[in-house]
Amino acid sequence: MKNILKYFLLSIFFMGFCFPYTHGQVRYSDRIFREDIKTMQIYRDGWNLSYPVIGLNTSEKLVLSFDLIGNNAEYFHYTLVHCDKDWNESGIFPSDYLTGYTEDETENYRPSFNTKAGYYNYRVVIPNDRMGIKLSGNYIIKVFPPGQPGSPVLTARFMVTEERAGINAVTRRPPPGEFFNTGQQVEINVNISKIPSRDPYNEFYTFILRNGSFNDAKENLKPEMVAGSELRYTSLSGSNIFYAGNEYRYFDTRSIKYTREFIRKIEYLGGRYHFFLLPSENREFKPYFYLKDFNGKYYVAIQDGRDMETEADYVYVYFTMPSANEIPGGKLYVAGAFNNWNFTPENRMMYNQDKGQYEGSMLLKQGYYNYEYLFLKEGAKGAAPSFFEGNHYETENDYLILVYYRNSRERYDRLVGSVVINSTRSGGN
């Protein structure tokens, strides 16, 4: 009896050791866990305004870049975690989806040069000679102190696609109704002739992200019609209609000597530069006006210098939004790709009753920034532009479309197709 009990306990131990991850244990997001980590970016190598999607078994690579504020470098390690379509851990072994090392050092880091704020810039390129990727799907790159994988300093999402599904998509003005003047609908046809499927209605899942944001993403869409080897997503259910938002606001902090558009003044206080933006305009009920933007993105840059990554300084940027009253039932945030559209104390706008305005400030690296104001209602998970911004069907937006495939014979969600289309023109592949 003792031997049986001993065998049983050992079996449980080894099962727990060999299967440290359980499906659905952690839902990941783009997140920074330390206040001294700033400017986390992940993009396709060669284009820092791209979405973090690369092809499986291609020469494409991704770059993760971030800064550690301070005058002392730290050693970090990183690993890749395979996730399901909903960004939970897949529960498969790292050896199933990685080649080479399953953990490596962040060896490429350099100190800032000639800046008021000292920092170290870190850069990781994946895949690389020591860590390759074998499977398509969603991935997290997790950066952590050596020996502490359970205490990451940041996590960043990216996708690896097989490009086996052909995607053709267009955006249209919604039919007369609630979204006629304020929305955009995305119609999609997916060719799955290269993917053997017995039950396409239940084996394919489509996601749509507006400008790369997960806040108002359309998730786990099922085809409304299957015609031969084509999945069709139309507007019948309304599940593929977005609030269109407005063109993004912007500011330019590349120069510390000259005030540019929307910057009221620049001051040097307490060893840092402070950029005070002009009060923002309430655009909720204004007519649509086209502005060329980067669809919520930003890029690091300075007026004079050769190495933007290490010569750009960190400056304080001050935002104000006049409002006669504080809006009840939620909180106002300034958001964009610069903070991954997250809702944190750092980017929350606080209401100043005496001045009749919302106020906020952020420490940001010099560059050119797009941003918007988002009102997060109490109890809501995400927010779409509405208060202070307005929604217009004419707004120029990107839509990132992702098609996942999962059948009962496989243990993970495959990303079989992806495409980016723009609301001002047709797209597909």
CATH number for the domain harbouring residue 69:
2.60.40.10
Q: Is the peptide bond before 127 cis (omega within 30 degrees of 0)?
A: yes
* Residue 20: pLDDT band with limits 50, 70, 90: very low
> CA-to-CA distance for 173 and 395, rounded, in angstroms?
11
What CATH number corresponds to the domain at position 408?
2.60.40
Q: Is residue 13 part of a domain?
A: no
What mean pLDDT do residues 223-244 have? Answer: 88
Q: Is 12 left (phi over 0), alpha (psi -120 to 50) or beta?
A: alpha
Q: Are residues 28 and 128 in the same domain?
A: yes
* Residue 382: pLDDT band with limits 50, 70, 90: confident
Q: What pLDDT shows up at residue 409? A: 86
* Torsions phi, psi for 427 (to 5 deg): -150, 170
State the pTM of this model: 0.91
* Residue 425: pLDDT band with limits 50, 70, 90: confident
Name the 3-class secondary structure at 166: strand
What mean pLDDT do residues 383-387 have? Answer: 72
Amino acid identity, residue 84? Answer: D
Q: Is residue 1 part of a domain?
A: no
* Residue 236: pLDDT band with limits 50, 70, 90: low
> CA-to-CA distance for 106 and 102, rounded, in angstroms?
13
> CA-to-CA distance for 89 and 147, rounded, in angstroms?
20
Which of 375, 267, 272, 274 has the alpha carbon at shortest distance from 319? Answer: 274
Domain limit, last residue, from 132, 161, 190? 161
* Cα-only R_g, the chain: 23
Is the confidence at residue 238, as pLDDT, over 80? no
Beta-carbon contacts of residue 345 (< 8 Å; ≥ 6 apart): none
Q: Is residue 78 part of a domain?
A: yes
Please tell me the total count of domains within the chain: 3
- Interior/surface letters 307-332, b for 16+ CB within 10 angstroms, e for the rest: ebbbbbbbbbbbbbbebeeeeeeebb
Task: Name the residue with higher pLDDT: 172 or 15.
Answer: 172
Domain limit, last residue, from 118, 136, 161? 161
Q: What pLDDT shows up at residue 25? A: 59
Q: Is residue 2 part of a domain?
A: no
Q: Is residue 208 part of a domain?
A: yes
Q: Are residues 279 and 409 in the same domain?
A: no
What mean pLDDT do residues 385-392 have? Answer: 87
Q: What pLDDT shows up at residue 246? A: 96
CB 168 within 8 A of CB 189: yes
CB 390 within 8 A of CB 203: no
Q: What pLDDT shows up at residue 15? A: 37
Q: Are residues 257 and 363 in the same domain?
A: yes
Q: What pLDDT shows up at residue 426? A: 53
Q: Are residues 307 and 401 in the same domain?
A: no
Q: What pLDDT shows up at residue 332? A: 95
Pairing of strands 166-172, 53-55: unpaired
pLDDT, tens digit (0-9, with 9 covering 90-100), for 306-331: 899 999 999 999 999 999 999 999 99
Q: Are residues 408 and 293 in the same domain?
A: no
Q: What pLDDT shows up at residue 14? A: 35
Tokens of 88: 């939970």
Q: Is residue 119 part of a domain?
A: yes
Q: Is residue 15 part of a domain?
A: no
**H or E segment and range at residue 231:** strand 230-233
Name the 3-class secondary structure at 333: strand
Is the confidence at residue 105, as pLDDT, over 50? yes
Query: How many angstroms from the chain centroid is the CA of residue 104?
Result: 24
Q: Are residues 99 and 154 in the same domain?
A: yes
* Residue 6: pLDDT band with limits 50, 70, 90: very low
Domain that holds residue 150: 21-161
Q: Are residues 71 and 154 in the same domain?
A: yes
Q: What pLDDT shows up at residue 306? A: 84
Q: What pLDDT shows up at residue 40? A: 98
> CA-to-CA distance for 117 and 314, rounded, in angstroms?
6
- Interior/surface letters 21-44, b for 16+ CB within 10 angstroms, e for the rest: beeeeeebebbbeeeebbbbbbbb
| Cα atoms in the Cβ-side hemisphere of radius 13 Å centred on 277 | 25
First vs last C-alpha separation in the chain: 64
Torsion sign (Cα): 379, 390, 174, 190: negative
What mean pLDDT do residues 197-213 have? Answer: 95
Q: Are residues 186 and 308 in the same domain?
A: no
Q: What pLDDT shows up at residue 384? A: 65
Is the confidence at residue 24, as pLDDT, over 70? no
Q: Is 25 left (phi over 0), alpha (psi -120 to 50) or beta?
A: alpha
Q: Is residue 4 part of a domain?
A: no
Q: Are residues 237 and 260 in the same domain?
A: no
What mean pLDDT do residues 33-40 have? Answer: 97
What mean pLDDT do residues 388-399 have? Answer: 96
CA distances from 357 to 34, 322, 327 (A): 29, 4, 11
Tokens of 105: 């050092």
CB 63 within 8 A of CB 124: yes
The 8-class DSSP code of residue 49 comes to T
Is the confidence at residue 5, as pLDDT, over 70? no
What mean pLDDT do residues 351-375 have? Answer: 97
Is the confidence at residue 65, as pLDDT, over 90? yes
Q: Are residues 67 and 138 in the same domain?
A: yes
* Residue 387: pLDDT band with limits 50, 70, 90: confident
CA distances from 112 to 35, 38, 65, 119 (A): 18, 13, 14, 5
Tokens of 178: 């609630």
Q: Are residues 150 and 178 in the same domain?
A: no
pLDDT, tens digit (0-9, with 9 covering 90-100), for 260-296: 889 999 999 999 999 999 999 999 999 999 999 999 9
Q: Are residues 36 and 118 in the same domain?
A: yes
Q: What pLDDT shows up at residue 239? A: 85
